[in-house]
Structure 1
Amino acid sequence: MKFSIGGSLKLAFRPWVEGLENIPAEGPAILASNHLSFSDSFFLPAVLDRKVTFIAKAEYFTSPGVKGRLTAAFFKGVGQLPVDRSGARGAGEAAIKSGIEVLERGELFGIYPEGTRSPDGRLYRGKPGGLARVALATGAPVIPVAMIDTEKIQPPGKVVPKLMRPGIRIGKPLDFSRYQGMDGDRFILRSVTDEVMYEIMKLSGQEYVDIYATAAKRQIADAEKAAKEAAKEAAKEAAKDAAKAQSGPSGA
């Protein structure tokens, strides 16, 4: 099913790819990518000859009805692995465990170090709890990946994608085996994550923001809420002024 879905995506969107030679023909490796769109997890596997497994919300696999079964089949077909994300800490541990298991089978494991999609197309600080821990626990090489223009194909909230060519740049593998077994050292985890994010930044050409994407999303949501409240207050004041202007001549 992966090949039929991948073939359809390549035929419809014609993604361009640089650096395919950096993907090993066999053996475990971690593909660490920026995250611009919901479709990232589909385009990257579509251009690879090998299966790559990403983590996905368990809800995608358990929704009821015909639509739910079709969604589950689609996600399984493109190599998504369900993880229960109902508890933040439990979800993180489950994702790490799943990633280690994928790599121990000698397969490719895909991960988004930012932890969530970029809210504005910029590259945000990587979270050290997932990528670095999996890399140091397994000794698998980390391959930086940059998705290009996928946010233009399917912006947040848009269901129907726009037909245009996305790009994928794949960097050279990074070897962190010298730190293997040191996944309990938070300074090492931070250093490994930052090195990977720097390589992704070079590949993608994105502006880097040294805060987490989740914090940026909260800031954006708070700013939008404040703007709406300010607009409401301004509308109320304008209505009051209009009412005074209308009542003025009759009261004179």
Structure 2
Amino acid sequence: MFYWLMKYIVVGPIAKAIWRPWIIGAENIPPSGAAILASNHLSVADSIFLPLMIERQVAFLAKAEYFTGRGIKGWATKWFMKGTGQIPIDRSGGSASEAALNTALQVLGRDELLGIYPEGTRSPDGVLYRGRTGIARMAMEAKVPVVPVVMVDTDTMMPIGRNIPRVVRVGIVIGKPLDFSRYAGMENDRYVLRSVTDEIMIALQQLGQQRYEDVYASSKRNKPSGAEAVEPPFVDASASLPRTDAAPAG
């Protein structure tokens, strides 16, 4: 109930009036049944506009820190995250990674939509980076399709480090679902997991024509130039098109 209140009464109408978001390919989202929406990740606003622009409810896995803040800001962030369908996960690795995977599988087991950012973190510079294989494991264990999603200009609206969003029109492009049933029973093969993940990232790159670099985004944000991060066992569930002035009317 809270989700629908936020989407249709509180946040949705205001966000649509100010930023006039557009969407292409909404018909590619399955009308029923479980599926993973695999999106590039440019801004914290990505998790707001995608749920607002599709008919079905979608749950995103979000870092637990968003739900544990103190004071007015912490309360407001927690309230907003819960209201927009975010699910807190511990991203510290180890047993927490398995717990996050199980949470994702529970969502998919209820025939719901699950939103995932395969890069594991926001792109620091608008480039699409290498995907982490947690998404492949989820898709294969749950036996669900993966729908590629490209967010457009949300990084211009609210780039990393900015607290007040700019009034910039944003958009979403949704591609056709990817079927990985041909790999049934191979979800523990790390080479298959990497192959599936790379196929998802190729679909995202082709859909958005985004520049791609085959390194992890976290290596760009946390390491010296040229140093690549080691992939953890699970995707962090917490990327941009060339600028265009020819957004769809509406």
TM-score, length-normalised on structure 1?
0.83
Q: Is the 8 A contact 2:90 2:97 kept in 1?
A: no
Number of the residue aligned with 2:88: 82
Give the RMSD, CA atoms, in angstroms. 1.7
Pick the aligned partner of 1:173 from 177, 183, 194.
177
3-state SS, counterpart of residue 88 of structure 1: coil
* Counterpart mapping for 1:82-101 below 5 A: 82-85=88-91, 87-101=92-106
Q: Which of 48, 51, 64 matches 2:70?
A: 64
Equivalent position amino acid for 2:191 in 1: F
- Equivalent of 2:43, from 20, 26, 37? 37
In structure 2, the partner of 1:241 is none
Residue 71 of structure 1 deviates from its aligned partner by 1.6
Q: Which moved more, 1:73-82 or 1:211-220?
A: 211-220
Cα distance change, pair 149–220 in 1 and its aligned pair in 2 (3 A): farther
- 2: CA distance, partners of 1:81 / 1:55: 5
Stretches of structure 1 lacking an aligned partner (at least 5 in a row)? 224-252
1:54 and 2:63 equivalent? no
Give 1:200's aligned amino acid.
L
Q: Larger Cα Rg: Structure 1 or Structure 2?
A: 1
Determine the structure 2 residue equivalent to 1:125.
Answer: 130
In the alignment, which residue of structure 2 is the partner of 1:158? 162
Equivalent residue, structure 2, for 1:235 = none
1:3-42 alignment, distance < 5 Å: 3=7, 4=9, 5-42=11-48
Distance 1:63 1:188 in 2: 39
- Count of matched residue pairs: 221
Identity of aligned residues (%): 53
**Structure 2 CA distance, aligned partners of 1:164 and 1:216?**
26
Give 1:120's aligned amino acid.
Answer: D
CA distance in 2, matches of 1:12, 1:90: 42
Indicate if the aligned counterparts of 1:138 and 1:180 stay in contact, CA closer than 8 A.
Answer: no
Change (3 A) 1:48 1:2: farther
Q: Go from structure 1 to structure 2 and tell me whether the alpha carbon gap of 1:197 and 1:104 turns closer, same or farther (over 3 Å shift).
A: same
Corresponding residue number in structure 1 for 2:190: 186
Residue aligned with 1:203, SS: helix
Task: Name the structure 2 match of 1:199.
Answer: 203
Deviates more, 1:16-25 or 1:56-65: 56-65
TM-score (norm 2): 0.84
Which of 1 and 2 has higher RCO (CA within 8 Å, sep 6+)?
A: 2
Query: In structure 1, what is the Cα distance between the partners aligned to 2:111 and 2:207?
Result: 26
Retained in 1: the 8 A contact 2:60–2:87?
yes
**How far apart, in 2, do the equivalents of 1:196 and 1:62 lie?**
32
